């Protein structure tokens, strides 16, 4: 733990500031809940308060990165506390983690049109796999275009789409970082569609639409995130369309991200829709097991936490919804490891993550399980509920019960009910039996694994 030095303008922070900090903490506790508070916020301390800004210290770099991402804006202090730039204790250098995300307060504040960039969303931190290779390659191509001749635009627009948490924003930030690092003379603006609308509406109010137009039309690379939110708002859509066209006509690069493809975006004017699909449309597919495992390895390494391979595999199998949830799981495990002081095990992971695991369970029904199992063993579906005890029928039935226990949230009596009104002890026996057999009978274990995979995909 870095020793917190309570100083402000060279003086010891007075009681007011400390108690203010405590109020901030109280407020945050209410906001994020006791558990998250204990894992994430309690370990940090305030180091320095300077005007409206506080410097906080975190015990590890990992925790620091997590906490700064929260963009804490708290209304309990008279002057709002902005999200804090972090001092890196390793090299002592202070680097700004993100540009101020605060809304522009006057029309003169033009310089900060671009939204904040997450420092971790770089190409180096992006794990490439089958589901995202096209989107990644396209994003790289756009980012690297600045090294080529002036305004080399590979495709316009680049339209990235895919479900939530699959890496669209990450790729856009990576493009922006890359262009910045290369320090090429390109003006880059990244912002969300919501912010675009907000800016536009504000410009209308301040009667500065000319300025607004000019700012956008003088960029070399415009990236607008979450464009699905722009649909339906007529005047902003109109403005967006004009901006878009003006930029494309001047051969400036545009990158768009949305949760749906151009043709599936609702509430969008036809001409806009078709224009959006003119360039390259690259979708990010749901993650595969391999990609999830790769991402876990990469993130654990970055965070400097040790997680047994078994637990990694378990997570990659279970947390299938999106990468954000996968990261959430990893964070919790990291916090747990830190607090408890020993490596996580499969059992403790299950405990720590039980709510996440539950919500990630694909809703498999018992009916579906019975149908699949019957098909697999060439049985009639009715055998799942029949009284026949011959092994060729009884064993598959036990497999189905086992899977029902594993893959659904149904209780033993509920499962028994579905299998010809059997008693819950029969179900329990079946579950144990299959577990036992799987240890010794490789063929059966394979069958069960195959069925499980089919049902969960
Ligand atoms: P989206 O914008 O598509 O909803 P984000 O770009 O915000 O998703 O990604 C959600 C989280 O998952 C981010 O923390 C991001 O860094 C991470 N992430 C997504 N895909 C990858 C990947 N391929 N490699 C590493 N991290 C990823
Ligand atoms: Mg996003």
Write out pLDDT tens, residues 378-398. 999 999 999 999 999 999 999
Between the CA of 129 and the centroid of ligand 1 the distance, in Å, is 13
Which residues lie at CB < 5 A from ion ligand 2? 168-169
Among residues 294, 286, 283, 280, which one has the least CA distance to residue 126? 294
Instruction: Give the Cα separation of 187 and 176 in Å (integer).
Output: 10
Instruction: Give the Cα separation of 99 and 109 in Å (integer).
Output: 13
If one residue of 261, 323, 329 were mutated to test the ligand 1 pocket, choosing by the most ligand atoms within 8 A of its CB, it would be: 323
Q: Residue 192: nearest ligand to its CA?
A: 2
Measuring CA to CA, how many Å separate 220 from each of 117, 246, 250?
Answer: 18, 12, 9
The predicted-structure confidence for 169-193, as pLDDT tens digits, reads as follows 999 999 999 988 886 778 899 999 8
Long-range contacts of 94-102 (CB under 8 A, 24+ apart): 95/119, 97/68, 98/68, 98/71, 101/71
Question: How many C-beta atoms lie closer than 10 Å to residue 399's C-beta?
Answer: 24
φ, ψ of residue 23 to 5 degrees: the values are -65, -40
Cβ atoms of residues 239 and 274 within 8 Å = no
Between the CA of 209 and the centroid of ligand 2 the distance, in Å, is 27
Distance, C-alpha 315 to centroid of its chain: 15
Nearest ligand 1 atom, CA 129: 23
The predicted-structure confidence for 247-298, as pLDDT tens digits, reads as follows 888 888 999 999 989 988 877 788 888 888 889 999 999 888 899 999 999 9
pTM, full prediction = 0.61
pLDDT value of residue 89: 31
The pLDDT of residue 80 is above 60: no
pLDDT value of residue 205: 84
pLDDT value of residue 38: 65
Q: Is the dihedral of CA 9, 12, 15, 19 positive or negative?
A: positive
Structure tokens at 121: 């969303």
Structure tokens at 201: 């509406």
């Amino acid at each position: 733990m870095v020793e917190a030095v309570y100083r402000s303008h060279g003086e010891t922070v007075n009681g007011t500031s400390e108690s203010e900090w405590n109020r901030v903490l109280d407020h945050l506790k209410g906001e994020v809940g006791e558990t998250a508070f204990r894992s994430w916020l309690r370990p940090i301390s305030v180091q320095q308060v300077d005007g409206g800004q506080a410097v906080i210290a975190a015990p590890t770099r990992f925790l620091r990165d997590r906490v700064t991402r929260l963009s804490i804006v708290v209304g309990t202090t008279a002057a709002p506390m902005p999200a804090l730039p972090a001092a890196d204790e390793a090299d002592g250098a202070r680097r700004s983690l993100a540009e101020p995300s605060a809304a522009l307060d006057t029309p003169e504040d033009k310089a900060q049109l671009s939204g904040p960039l997450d420092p971790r969303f770089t190409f180096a931190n992006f794990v490439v796999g089958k589901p995202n290779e096209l989107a990644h390659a396209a994003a790289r191509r756009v980012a690297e275009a600045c090294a080529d001749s002036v305004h080399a635009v590979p495709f316009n627009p680049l339209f990235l789409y895919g479900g939530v948490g699959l890496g669209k924003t990450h790729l856009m930030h990576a493009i922006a970082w890359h262009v910045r690092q290369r320090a090429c003379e390109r003006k880059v603006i990244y912002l969300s569609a919501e912010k675009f609308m907000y800016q536009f509406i504000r410009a209308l109010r301040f009667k500065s639409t000319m300025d607004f137009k000019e700012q956008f039309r003088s960029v070399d690379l415009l990236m607008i995130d979450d464009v699905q939110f722009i649909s339906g708002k007529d005047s902003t859509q109109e403005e967006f369309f004009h901006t878009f066209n003006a930029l494309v006509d001047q051969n400036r690069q545009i990158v768009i991200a949305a949760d749906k493809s151009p043709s599936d975006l609702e509430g969008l004017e036809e001409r806009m829709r078709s224009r959006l699909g003119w360039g390259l449309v690259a979708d990010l597919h749901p993650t595969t097991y391999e990609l999830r495992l790769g991402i876990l390895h990469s993130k654990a390494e970055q965070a400097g936490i040790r997680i047994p391979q078994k637990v990694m595999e378990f997570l990659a199998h279970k947390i299938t919804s999106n990468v954000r949830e996968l990261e959430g799981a990893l964070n919790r495990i990291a916090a747990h490891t830190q607090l408890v002081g020993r490596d996580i095990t499969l059992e403790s992971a299950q405990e720590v993550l039980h709510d996440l695991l539950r919500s990630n369970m694909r809703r498999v029904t018992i009916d579906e399980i019975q149908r699949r199992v019957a098909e697999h063993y060439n049985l009639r579906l009715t055998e799942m509920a029949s009284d026949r005890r011959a092994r060729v029928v009884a064993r598959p039935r036990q497999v189905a019960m086992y899977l029902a226990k594993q893959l659904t949230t149904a209780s033993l009596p509920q499962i028994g009910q579905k299998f010809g009104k059997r008693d819950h002890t029969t179900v329990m026996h079946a579950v144990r039996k299959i577990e036992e057999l799987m240890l010794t009978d490789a063929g059966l274990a394979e069958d069960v694994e195959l069925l499980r995979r089919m049902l969960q995909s």
